[in-house]
Chains A and B, each alone.
Chain A
Amino acid sequence: DAKTTQPNSMESNEEEPVHLPCNHSTISGTDYIHWYRQLPSQGPEYVIHGLTSNVNNRMASLAIAEDRKSSTLILHRATLRDAAVYYCILRENTGGFKTIFGAGTRLFVKA
């Protein structure tokens, strides 16, 4: 899996939008961008993924830059429950069975 770069930590206020950035300048044309999060004392949880177009689901939105060298996970209204470590991962679309986690971004949400 190609490398991603994320800030170590970010802070947000409750009820406000959060934009979590991820740089992946070495992304290849067939790599998908996946986001997972890990709440305290829990296993990782899938959030969203995309290839080229922006994606929305019930949890979040994923905005992908036109050159695909960066992406942003958007939480539209942060809640205290969104405090977690967020992982941006590139998945090759060529088979293979592992997903490699980096250090991620620890999101702190203030009430």
Chain B
Amino acid sequence: EPEVTQTPSHQVTQMGQEVILRCVPISNHLYFYWYRQILGQKVEFLVSFYNNEISEKSEIFDDQFSVERPDGSNFTLKIRSTKLEDSAMYFCASSDRDSSYNSPLHFGNGTRLTVT
């Protein structure tokens, strides 16, 4: 069964550094998402992306965050200047249609970001 893959599985970075988290969504999917989960807390929506632009974003997704689909297969999340509070698991997800069709989201296993 096709799956969403994320790399790296664990990223350690120093405060103030830029990080790029990478995702390869399922190949025929058109809708892409980033979520994060701080240790012990809920899974939080960050951003959705369709047709090469952001469809919706949360309050968490401020100017420090950006997303990109640089080619036909990758979907990336960039944090420009990391803060300690950015330490979390970051999950990428994709779906073949938007929520108006109630297509389920398929999630990767996440990248654990540790900011020191």
Q: Across the interface, do B45 and A100 meet the contact criterion of CB distance under 8 Å?
A: yes
How many residues does chain B have at the interface if contact means C-beta atoms less than 8 Å apart?
A: 26
For B105, give its contact among A99, A102, A103, A104 (CB under 8 Å).
Answer: A99
Residues of A within 8 A of B104 (CB): 34, 46, 49
Q: Shortest beta-carbon distance, A3 to chain B, in Å?
A: 13
Asked whether B25 is an interface residue with its Cβ less than 8 Å from the other chain, the reply is no
How many residues does chain A have at the interface if contact means C-beta atoms less than 8 Å apart?
A: 26
The contact string, 1 if C-beta is below 8 Å from chain B, for chain A 31-73, is 0101010100111111001000000000000000000000000
Residues of A within 8 A of B55 (CB): 97
By beta carbon, the residue of chain A nearest B41 is A103
Q: Across the interface, do A43 and B109 meet the contact criterion of CB distance under 8 Å?
A: yes
Q: Shortest beta-carbon distance, A95 to chain B, in Å?
A: 4
Q: Shortest beta-carbon distance, A97 to chain B, in Å?
A: 3
Asked whether B96 is an interface residue with its Cβ less than 8 Å from the other chain, the reply is no
Q: Across the interface, do A43 and B42 meet the contact criterion of CB distance under 8 Å?
A: no
Residues of A within 8 A of B33 (CB): 97-99
Q: Across the interface, do A43 and B98 meet the contact criterion of CB distance under 8 Å?
A: no
Residues of B within 8 A of A101 (CB): 35, 42-45
Give chain B's interface residues, CB within 8 Å of chain A.
4, 31, 33, 35, 42-45, 48, 50, 55-56, 58, 91, 93, 98-100, 102, 104-110
19 of the cross-chain contacts (CB-CB < 8 Å) are: A34-B102, A43-B4, A43-B91, A43-B108, A43-B109, A44-B105, A49-B104, A87-B43, A91-B102, A93-B99, A93-B100, A95-B98, A96-B56, A96-B99, A97-B33, A97-B98, A97-B99, A98-B33, A104-B42
Other than the given A43-B110, A49-B104, A93-B99, 17 more pairs (CB < 8 A) read A34-B102, A36-B105, A42-B109, A43-B91, A43-B93, A43-B108, A46-B104, A93-B100, A96-B56, A96-B99, A97-B33, A97-B48, A97-B56, A97-B98, A97-B99, A98-B99, A101-B45
